[in-house]
Amino acid sequence: MSTRLAVNRGARIYAAERMGMSADTALFPATQVSARPITVLWFFLSGTATFEHDGQVTHLEAPCLVAIPEHWSEGADGKRAVRVLTTGAPYASVQVHFREECRQFRIIDLDPRHVAEVSAMHRQILDAAPEEGLAPLRRLLGKLVSFGLVPTFALTAAEATFYQDPTTARVWQALQRRYTALDASPSLKAMAAEVGLSARHTHRIMTTIFGECLMPPGGFREATINVRLSLASILLSKSSLSVVEVARAVGYLHPETLANAFRHVGLPSPAEIKRTYAVRSTPTLPEHDETWIQAQGVQRRSPRMF
């Protein structure tokens, strides 16, 4: 599993790839923050995605592109109204979050040339060394703007003082290194020691980053807990990994501690999550509600949309 991240004030972009694992947002924690007016542009380059909402199901085969409200992927007010299941061998995607309200689910027509360019850039990003990943992510965001898929303001530079402050840059780079390394429990204390700052100063800078940039909702503490448990959920989808191995991989010494963490955010136990993935990794979709869209829109059945 590989992932890269870049952020500015108006947008956040991810490039990700997984092998042999699924992700089911019904088994992820939901943010406690209320829904924000943010659009998520989700580019599926390989694999499949299933959206379940209000009793209806839409199944998509890559390559495809959708726009959804942020709360469809992050939840809101501690709840999830939408389930998104992604899987594939490999599953590969690009996500762009930007500050613009999205009122409904949209499937966006794709130009095959755009698919080829985005796929090539996605590969370059993940193949680059982690410290070299920021520039190609910016280029990819610029390319999506040039395609007319992302608004121009997503590239708008912030105040120079914010991005050029060397102390802020060091803290951000420490956070980015941990994200790229899939560090499930990045601590402010450890990052403070790494960048040679006090824990209090590092906390102030991190609060500024989460306040000024388009970071995940909920602030540093909630976001890191949610990422940690979401990663644990994804790892539990891999049949060859035991609950003990998953708990240790995300920084818990004992599986009981991981179970308590899941229970605290209203999720089932790790063993139950593992069973759910085993049953639901290949969803059986009700024929009367199903919308099936294959690559390039070649095949459509039951064209009801959300």
Q: Tens digit of pLDDT for each residue in 116-136?
A: 999 999 999 999 887 776 789
pLDDT for the residue numbered 162: 58
Token pair listed for 170: 């060091």
What mean pLDDT, rounded, does the chain reach? 86
What is the dihedral sign for C-alpha 80, 229, 87, 117? positive
Using 50, 70 and 90 to split pLDDT, how confident is the model at 304? very low
CA-CA-CA-CA dihedral for 221, 209, 70, 43, to nearest 10: -110
pLDDT for the residue numbered 180: 79
Token pair listed for 258: 């991981």
pLDDT for the residue numbered 277: 93
Average pLDDT over residues 261-281: 91
pLDDT for the residue numbered 170: 87
What is the dihedral sign for C-alpha 190, 97, 229, 234? negative
Condensed to tens digits (0 to 9), the pLDDT of residues 34-53 reads 999 999 999 999 999 999 99
Backbone angles phi, psi at 192, to 5 degrees: -60, -45
pLDDT for the residue numbered 186: 76
pLDDT for the residue numbered 184: 72
pLDDT for the residue numbered 157: 56
Winning range, highest mean pLDDT, from 15-29, 157-171, 178-192: 15-29
Alpha-carbon distances of 217 from 166, 192, 198, rounded to whole Å: 25, 22, 25
Token pair listed for 205: 């800078």
Q: Say yes or no to pLDDT of 198 above 90.
A: yes
Q: Which residue in the block uniquely carries the two structure tokens 């993940």?
A: 126
pLDDT for the residue numbered 281: 56
Percent of the chain beyond pLDDT 70?
A: 88
Condensed to tens digits (0 to 9), the pLDDT of residues 208-264 reads 889 888 999 999 999 999 999 999 999 999 999 999 999 999 989 899 999 999 999
**Buried (b) or exposed (e) across 133-159, using 16+ Cβ within 10 A?**
bbebbeebbeebbeeebbbeebbeeee
Average pLDDT over residues 55-77: 95
Token pair listed for 68: 């959804």
Domains of the chain, first to last: 2-157+284-301 (2.60.120.10)
Distance separating alpha carbons of residues 96 and 39, to the nearest angstrom: 8
Q: Say yes or no to pLDDT of 299 above 50.
A: no
- Name, in order, each residue with C-beta under 8 angstroms of 46's C-beta and a sequence gap of 6 or more: 17, 62, 63, 88, 90, 91, 92, 93
Q: Both ends of the chain: CA-CA distance in Å?
A: 31
